[in-house]
Amino acid sequence: MEIITNSAAETVELGKRIGALLKGGEVIALVGNLGTGKTHLIKGIAAGLGANESDAVSSPTFVLVNEYFGRDGLIHIYHIDAYRMKSVKEFQSLGFDEYCCSDSVVLVEWADKVMTAVEEFDPMMVRLEHINENQRRIVIENAPECLSGASTD
């Protein structure tokens, strides 16, 4: 599935649609250069999963993992930033495999840096790229069936 968004707000809105359809147990691998909208999409996914508005979703570049709760605390949302990871082993030492369970949604920014670890969990792949200053091309591969209605239409 390929989607074009025309603003950060549209990227967040797409994320909300995706998040609202997730059931738990999903691993989502996000790949894209700086400024392509990975964190905006994750903000939307967290909101769609019912994360509390007071949980300001931000990229966990320095803390590495942020945890949010969705759907009245029934879904754990783990937001992992692999940008600073020096190796797959370092990434695995965060306890990545322990986050991947049926009552959680795991979102990995910069997943290309740790793909060998992430691939084991059959992730939904989300590739983001700049078209121009405002537009982004978002390509979703290996999406679960529940996402068949997630486009911006």
Residue 114: CATH number of its domain: 3.40.50.300
How far is the C-alpha of 91 from the C-alpha of 95, rounded, in Å?
8
User: Is residue 153 a part of any domain in this protein?
Assistant: no
User: Is residue 51 a part of any domain in this protein?
Assistant: yes
Give the global pTM: 0.88
Q: Structural domain tally of the chain?
A: 1
Q: Is the pLDDT of residue 61 over 80?
A: no
User: Is residue 152 a part of any domain in this protein?
Assistant: no
What does the pLDDT read at residue 144? 75
How far is the C-alpha of 41 from the C-alpha of 24, rounded, in Å?
17
What does the pLDDT read at residue 128? 97
- What is the extent of the structural domain holding 21? 2-144
How far is the C-alpha of 13 from the C-alpha of 20, rounded, in Å?
11
